[in-house]
Amino acid sequence: MFAKILIANRGEIACRVIRTARRMGVRTVAVYSDADAGALHVEMADETVHIGPSPVGESYLRGDKIVAAALATGAEAIHPGYGFLSENPDFVDQVTAVGLVFIGPSAASIRAMGLKDAAKRLMEKAGVPVVPGYHGEAQEIVLLASKAREIGYPVLIKARAGGGGKGMRRVEHPDDFSEALSGARREAKAAFGDDRVLVEKYVDKPRHIEVQVFGDIFGNVVHLYERDCSAQRRHQKVIEEAPAPGMTPALRKAMTEAAVKAAKAIDYSGAGTIEFIVDASQGLKADRFWFMEMNTRLQVEHPVTEMVTGTDLVEWQLRVASGEKLPKTQSEIALSGHAFEARIYAEDAAKGFLPATGTLHHLKFPDTAPEGASMRIETGVRTGDAISPFYDPMIAKLVVHGKNRQAALEALGISLSQTEIAGSTVNTAFLAALAADADFSAGDVDTGLIGRHQQALTAVPPPSSEIVAAAALAASGAGAQAPTRDPWSSLAGYAHFHAMARRTRLRYGEDDILALVSMRPDGRFQVALDAPYDSALDLRAAPRLARWPGHVTVFSGAVGHSFAVPDPLARADEIAAGADSLRAPMPGLVKLVRAAKGETVIKGQPLLILEAMKMEHTISATHDGTIAEIATEGAQVTDGTVLVRFAEEAHG
């Protein structure tokens, strides 16, 4: 076994690897960028090495710096985590060329599966079923459009390199093919440096079911059953589970055998995932699944497999990479119970899942698992940490395990309702709504479920009068301590003939709220609110809430209602964007400008494309008008930057 390893990653996965390595007695080296100087993974590691500025291209994607850090610290091996360099065969060559061990598959295996088109041709030869489509080298638009017509619409354009839904477009009609192809190519080029695509038949009711495989250098390959990752938004996974709901013995046997066959075809060693698309339009059948791609690394959702098989896949990675045989044979790997993983992101689900930034002023996860269940939190952040625009905005993975799917699903809902995060917009309410969705609860899930139910799943319920009153009480300072526990608080606001009222203002979204807070003789607080809220409420027990600079967040289940608390001594800022300008909803790069200064545009017309976190977001006109100014293509902008300004006479 290794004495010391370097982790070429950050955040949650770096912390995950450190925990297992520490348990095994293996010392760890963390690398970090400027933005991560105070990060949790840096604090946890035995040694640390600074590798550059915050942008990934100058730090976490610099293989030369990472290899140099491993050599300088005496590390024997490099664990890539997931993302970044984890599936870069050139990096594997860099690592092995200097005598270090790459904790993962060989460069040859990664290359074999790195390009979707070549991988599918290889799988066809190995007897693994693949999705009908065009997987050839030629990329002329006329040829691709012709192949799309042959396959039959709808079709799916997919980047041949990478994954995560980047560079992917569904096309319903031939007239839309050219525009979709251009968008897919731009996004693929930005994310993977390769704008080549393949075209496949779009499956009407697709399930995304993947099989965890593991191989060693002795030619042994096993599977650890399947995971269902069908709950997706923007082709990115949201909630994963194991085993797949509705899985039949016949389909499981066919899929796991195909997955093992695929891994053996490329002499695979280490952790890997074979991803299949399954046509669930007529139920799960053994002849209705096809190979999509192989992820030649540890998956984000690997904890659900660990929970149902009682394994530590990171430990397996270290053992296999150090030259040991697989810890278990196939007959020794059994399924037990059911597990879910929910990805908690800093994002605004109600605004199309826009990534968010901010400081996590309050971060609290459940202290214990619900009765009869087990739970684990995988995170790389703490209270006070910032969500950076440079990296993926995932805050944590909440993983639960129960004796069956229903028990695990109930545990997931309870755990989400007990999670409290303030300081950034997060998706906990959306996750809880998805977990409670009737179709999802019944296991009737496919990759289009979230899209079909998106409006209901992302709707933000308005705060009740009780929630507003609690926020006003907290903002006023009158309820800073529970009156039943602090006898001195009963003197607060004392007056001879009536209760003294404190005037408090709140802002919720676009609404200004005025509240009058007073203490009653019996120790209760009375909060008087303007319409449309109840005129007066009596409060004694403080709800779950968090105070943070200039704000109060009140938690109701998985929903966090955040109220701004204006400083009464500060001068009001009268400058507002108004309808005469469009501002960047997040930090990003102006990827494409589709309008010009002086041009007359109509409401809804796309004006420019903003790229943030490797995804494209279209900024469209909010009304008819004439453009007075527009951002420059290639400009890097921050949250709130004016992208488009309209001429004053444009509307009225």
Identify the bridge partners of residue 400 per DSSP, sorted by sequence position.
340, 375
Measured in degrees and rounded to the nearest 5, phi and psi for residue 210 equal: -125, 155
Question: In sequence order, which residues have a C-beta less than 8 Å from that of residue 195 and are 6 or more positions away?
Answer: 159, 167, 185, 186, 188, 189
Q: Which long-range contacts (CB under 8 A, 24 or more apart) does 230-234 make?
A: 230/206, 230/445, 230/446, 230/447, 230/449, 231/434, 231/440, 231/445, 231/449, 231/450, 232/165, 232/208, 232/447, 232/450, 233/353, 233/450, 233/451, 233/454, 234/165, 234/353, 234/615
Indicate the range of 61-65, 436-440, 600-604 predicted with least confidence: 600-604
Say what the pLDDT of residue 486 is.
Answer: 37
Question: In sequence order, which residues have a C-beta less than 8 Å from that of residue 510 and are 6 or more positions away?
Answer: none
Say what the pLDDT of residue 132 is.
Answer: 84
Tokens of 559: 């929903």
**For 459-481, how does the pLDDT look when each residue is reduced to its tens digit (9 = 90+)?**
988 999 999 999 998 888 765 44
Contact 390, 612 (CB under 8 A): no
Per-position DSSP letters for 554-602, written without gaps between them: EEETTEEEEEE---TTSPP-----GGGEEE-SSSEEEEEE---TT-EE-
**For 387-410, how does the pLDDT look when each residue is reduced to its tens digit (9 = 90+)?**
988 999 999 999 999 999 999 999
Contact 239, 317 (CB under 8 A): no
Give CA separation, 32 vs 63, 171, 318, in Å. Answer: 13, 41, 22
**For 113-159, how does the pLDDT look when each residue is reduced to its tens digit (9 = 90+)?**
988 778 888 998 999 999 888 888 899 999 999 999 999 999 999 99
Assign 286 a pLDDT band (cuts: 50, 70, 90).
Answer: very high
CA 558 to mean position of chain CA atoms = 17
CA 523 to mean position of chain CA atoms = 45
Say what the pLDDT of residue 541 is.
Answer: 58
d(CA 539, CA 63): 58
Q: Which amino acid is at 145?
A: A
Say what the pLDDT of residue 517 is.
Answer: 85
pLDDT for 88 beyond 80: yes
Say what the pLDDT of residue 542 is.
Answer: 61
Q: Which amino acid is at 592?
A: L
Give CA separation, 125 vs 107, 121, 122, 616, in Å. Answer: 21, 7, 5, 36
Tokens of 297: 């690394």
Say what the pLDDT of residue 105 is.
Answer: 98
Tokens of 103: 């904790």
pLDDT for 502 beyond 80: no
Tokens of 245: 């709901």
d(CA 271, CA 190): 27
Tell which residue, 83, 81, 88, 84, has the closest CA to residue 103: 81
pLDDT for 487 beyond 70: no
| pTM (predicted TM-score) | 0.82
Say what the pLDDT of residue 638 is.
Answer: 77
Strand, helix or coil for residue 508 = strand
pLDDT for 259 beyond 90: yes
Contact 80, 288 (CB under 8 A): no
DSSP 287: T
Q: Is 161 left (phi over 0), alpha (psi -120 to 50) or beta?
A: beta
Contact 279, 245 (CB under 8 A): no
For the chain, percent of residues with pLDDT exceeding 70: 92
In this prediction, residues 365-393 reach a mean pLDDT of 95
Instruction: Point out the catalytic residue in the list 111, 160, 169, 297.
Output: 297
Per-position DSSP letters for 234-267, written without gaps between them: TTEEEEEEES-TT--HHHHHHHHHHHHHHHHHTT
Tokens of 560: 């966090």
Give CA separation, 438 vs 282, 361, 442, 444, 514, in Å. Answer: 19, 34, 6, 9, 39
pLDDT for 531 beyond 50: yes
Is 19 one of the catalytic residues? no
Q: Which amino acid is at 258?
A: A
**For 609-645, how does the pLDDT look when each residue is reduced to its tens digit (9 = 90+)?**
988 756 677 888 988 999 999 999 999 887 678 999 9
